[in-house]
Structure 1
Amino acid sequence: MAAIVEREEPLTPAGRLFVQPQMEQIINVAIAVESPLDVHAFKAEVESSVMVKLPRFRSLLVRSSGGREYWRRVQIDVSRHVIPHHHSVSDDPAVSDEDAVNDFMADLCVSSPLPTDKPLWEVHLLAAHRTVVFRFHHALGDGISLMSLLLSCCRRADDPTQTPTAGAAGAAAKPPRRRWSAWKLAKLIWYTLVYVVEFTLRALWLSDEKTAVSGGAGVELWPRRLATARFRLEDMKTVKRAVADATINDVLFGIVSCGLSRYLDIKSPKALPEGLRITGLSMVNLRPQSGLQDISKLLDKSNSGTRWGNKFGMLLLPIYYHKCDSNPIGFVKRAKSMIDKKKLSLEAPFSYKVGNLIMSLLGPKFAAVLNYRIVCNTTFTISNIIGPGEKIRIVGNPVKHIRVTSSCLPHAITMHMVSYAGVADLQILAAKK
């Protein structure tokens, strides 16, 4: 009996949420390489990697007679997880490798769950397109945990003995301690109260007005298209320097605000009032350290601050429609002002703590309904993960780019950005309609 108990581990509250039908999420990571893929070498590398040694990657998802979910340890067959595709995934020979891979991932994002008769991860080797697509169920971990694990299997291109570092030097260092004043503390309390009330109303009935980019219940089943927007980090830093104390996230959100305003201006130039609100949903890392983590610390159960799994909160990020002739820098300034207030509040920790409380008291089905309503009542999803700051290799093969997207939500637009070696790739997953 002790051996059986040791081989079974209950899912975390966030893990139980992500296995509910309304909120089931799979993270898809595409890594393009420069040289042809060696399928046998890659399979051997996966078989010896730290990934297959982790308990959750060697466990089946099972449900007890009472409906409780568990991880049950099993022996894995790597050949069932590593799936080679020797021919092009596109029927049109004129389609570029980038578009073919994007179309492949877009199809995976709609109604393509992972089989439950094996641990919840897969690796697709698209040999014709020199791309590896990793698929991880969100119940295994969040973006920080999974990207940290993935890159622990890679090596720096300039020094194969070293693992990659996250972003620029010091990007993963602890943030400076805040200095609190009475006024700052008052603003924290006020912003937290306002945002918590709004978050609660979004879970009940408050919704964005309908526009050309609105989603809603059932939209997660619509066919998708996936496109990539590429940005040089130096260009984003140039824009950042035009606004005092701005960050890359401020610039990214300014770009999204400006882009959506221009799109809506084309689609419905006379129907929308100036300043119309469109709300995004963002996931925020709640670990003490930002950026990628030391995988040994993530796997250390005694280190609660950087533990493995899902440790993130949610933020509601509003943007406002403005005519396309507006000053583009104005979008960044407005984004910075809004994000600064969000950073000062406790909205993200509140959503994490309350989510766990609801899971414990009312169960995962009720929590999934609330989260589904929040998604239906907002317009888009956005996330940003800091990737390696230098060129890397996977199985000795130089990496060209790293791109991430996830399975569909009721949002009609989902955006995920990952930086790699001075370039940031924004994957835009949009409902075809």
Structure 2
Amino acid sequence: MDAAAATTLRKRPLSVRTAPDGGPRTAPDELGEPVSPSARLVEDFYIVVVMGAATPLNIAALRSGIEAQLARHPHFRSIQVTDKDGNPRWARTTVNVDSHLISPALDPAAVSADPDKAVEDYVASLSTLPMDRSRPLWEFHLLDFPTSEAASTAAVRVHHSLGDGMSLLTLLMSCTRSAADPARLPAMPPPPTRAGAIYQRPRPSAGVLAFAAWVWSFAVLAWHTVVDVVGFFATILFLKDPHTPFKRVNRGVSQRKRIVHRSLSLDDVKFVKNAMNCTVNDVLVGVTYAALSRYYFRSSGDSDIGKELRLRSILLVNLRPTTSLQACVNMIESGKGRDVKWGNKLGFIILPFFIGLQSDPLDYVRKAKKVVDRKKSSLEVVFTHLAAEVILKVFRLKVAAAIFHRMISHTTISFSNMTGPVEHVEFCGHPILFIAPSGYGPPEALTVNYQSYVNNIMVNLALDEAQFPDFRGLLDDFVESLGHIKDAALRIRKHNSKA
């Protein structure tokens, strides 16, 4: 530990002492809010956001901006401590921003030979490096050299307990400004037209038949929920996905995660969405079906083109009410920052994924829409959120974490999709060219995250290096799959216009 870090520790307003299990402990009246059940279940999970800037890094501007904005948020200036009852809680501490800005000394020859690979290798190394729990669990890794994508790169590593992907993205965006007008926040996509939860039934129209249909929709909702809950417990107890190239091997052995990304056209995704009368998420699930199918048949050597495999993914769902970025920032600026919930408030859906070769590329999207619509008619996401809290309270952390990891390890993939700004942004004076969030920690070999930014959408993969030697080929599969699906949608559009 360096002298600056030691001085920071001495300045903390809390009297932190070591518990018998090795964790920090302090008196109850000095503690903040308890660590939420959701945050405790993601103890080994980390979020990594790679951002490319259009200019070299200005360290002084970064330090000043982070200190004035990001570092003032409660969880970003707190550490986890254990009270006398053994329960983790958040405790305020002094933040030395310099301790969170890391400029690694990379091999100049490696950087000169292939700067893109140097960035990629360094980001992959983060999955093998622990974080210092004596200070808030967030870091900015600064790579100040040009690549094919940007003039400089920053990799932000955050422990998942500080917040889920949606809350952390909102927090990060609250620290940015519009590149066109630095005096204002960046423009974000409009909130979804659906005001309630994805499973909420619309109000019935007038008439007996409309009321009967409304009642029937609740009966269907109840039945689907029962089926999904049974599937949830079956997954914990015995139901496993079949072995495929995507299924993690060497379980129990920590694997280095390669975190890579590739840009897709958001306009192409929206074109397919409009042509198929579905959602952007439906299209992205369909593209993922297609890409994984291409990879499976190429890498496995399986020649049975009529074969179809059913895998499952964990789809994370944000349970918060829809709140605009501007509303969150207004609460912060007005001194009501505590009203903004930055932590983890997630449920999840066990979403079927189908691996097979379709003669019509649009069949991937049709199947995705059918699966996603079916999952929307269920309370599975609410049940899984409540179940995690109950299991944690009843069985305590060690057993609850084992159950949680067992459930995830019996599936194959983690999947998420988040929306970002619709215009270019600046972060602490640095124009941002791309935003690529991902992470590591789940006991799965492959994690797929989508993130939109302006007119692009980034597909981000976190994968075990040993299992995916052809990870660049897998990225190509996503690009080519979207291209084939768009071409098929274009043919339908032309055919309909002629008719």
Identity, % of aligned positions: 33
Q: Deviations over 1:129-188 (max 9, x none)?
A: 411221111111111111111111110011111112323x34598359723512211211
Correspondence for 1:8 among 25, 29, 32: 32
- Answering whether residue 287 of structure 2 is matched by residue 255 of structure 1, we say yes
Q: 1: distance between equivalents of 2:196 and 2:72?
A: 32
What's the C-alpha RMSD, in Å, of the aligned pairs? 2.6
Correspondence for 1:61 among 76, 80, 84: 80
Q: 2: distance between equivalents of 1:279 and 1:363?
A: 27
User: How many residues are paired up?
Assistant: 421
Where does the alignment leave 5 or more consecutive residues of structure 1 unmatched?
Answer: none
Amino acid at match of 2:159: H
Q: 1: distance between equivalents of 2:392 and 2:32?
A: 20
Which residue number corresponds to residue 474 of structure 2? none
* 1:320/1:291 CA distance change after superposition, 3 Å: farther
Map 1:313-332 → 2, pairs under 5 A: 313-323=347-357, 325-332=358-365
8 Å contact 1:415–1:426 — kept in the other structure?
yes
Which residue number corresponds to residue 405 of structure 1? 438
Which residue number corresponds to residue 18 of structure 2? none
Give 1:45 deviation, angstroms: 1.3
Which residue number corresponds to residue 475 of structure 2? none
Which secondary structure state, in structure 2, belongs to the residue aligned with residue 401 of structure 1? strand
Which residue number corresponds to residue 362 of structure 1? 395
Normalising by structure 2, we get a TM-score of 0.78
* 1:175/1:147 CA distance change after superposition, 3 Å: same
Amino acid at match of 1:359: L
Q: 2: distance between equivalents of 1:40 and 1:4?
A: 38
Amino acid at match of 2:165: G
- Answering whether residue 50 of structure 2 is matched by residue 33 of structure 1, we say no
Map 1:301-316 → 2, pairs under 5 A: 307-316=341-350
* 1:219/1:164 CA distance change after superposition, 3 Å: farther
* Off by >6 Å, runs of 4+ in structure 1: 1-4
Normalising by structure 1, we get a TM-score of 0.90
Structure number having the greater helix percentage: 2
Which residue number corresponds to residue 420 of structure 2? 387
Q: Which structure is richer in relative contact order (CA contacts within 8 A, separation 6 or more)?
A: 1
Q: 1: distance between equivalents of 2:232 and 2:178?
A: 42
Give 1:402 deviation, angstroms: 0.4
Stretch of structure 1 that moved more, 127-136 or 387-396: 127-136
Q: Deviations over 1:78-129 (max 9, x none)?
A: 11111124656882533243x43333222212x3231111111111111124
Which secondary structure state, in structure 2, belongs to the residue aligned with residue 405 of structure 1? strand
Q: Deviations over 1:310-364 (max 9, x none)?
A: 11101111112212x5211000000000001111211111100111111112112
- Answering whether residue 210 of structure 2 is matched by residue 159 of structure 1, we say no
Give 1:261 deviation, angstroms: 1.0
Map 1:108-187 → 2, pairs under 5 A: 108-109=126-127, 111-129=128-146, 130-167=152-189, 169-171=190-192, 174=195, 178-179=202-203, 181-187=214-220
8 Å contact 2:66–2:428 — kept in the other structure?
no
* 1:409/1:82 CA distance change after superposition, 3 Å: same
* 1:391/1:311 CA distance change after superposition, 3 Å: same
Give 1:420 deviation, angstroms: 0.5
Q: Deviations over 1:281-305 (max 9, x none)?
A: 11001112177574347875885xx
Which residue number corresponds to residue 212 of structure 1? 245
Give 1:3 deviation, angstroms: 9.8
Q: 2: distance between equivalents of 1:292 and 1:374?
A: 33
Q: Deviations over 1:365-412 (max 9, x none)?
A: 121111101111011111111111111111222110001111232211
- Answering whether residue 351 of structure 2 is matched by residue 351 of structure 1, we say no
Amino acid at match of 2:119: V
Stretch of structure 1 that moved more, 199-208 or 169-178: 169-178
Correspondence for 1:81 among 96, 100, 110: 100
Amino acid at match of 1:193: V
Give 1:224 deviation, angstroms: 3.1
- Answering whether residue 78 of structure 2 is matched by residue 45 of structure 1, we say no
Which residue number corresponds to residue 107 of structure 1? 125
Q: 1: distance between equivalents of 2:377 and 2:80?
A: 38
Q: 2: distance between equivalents of 1:272 and 1:193?
A: 34
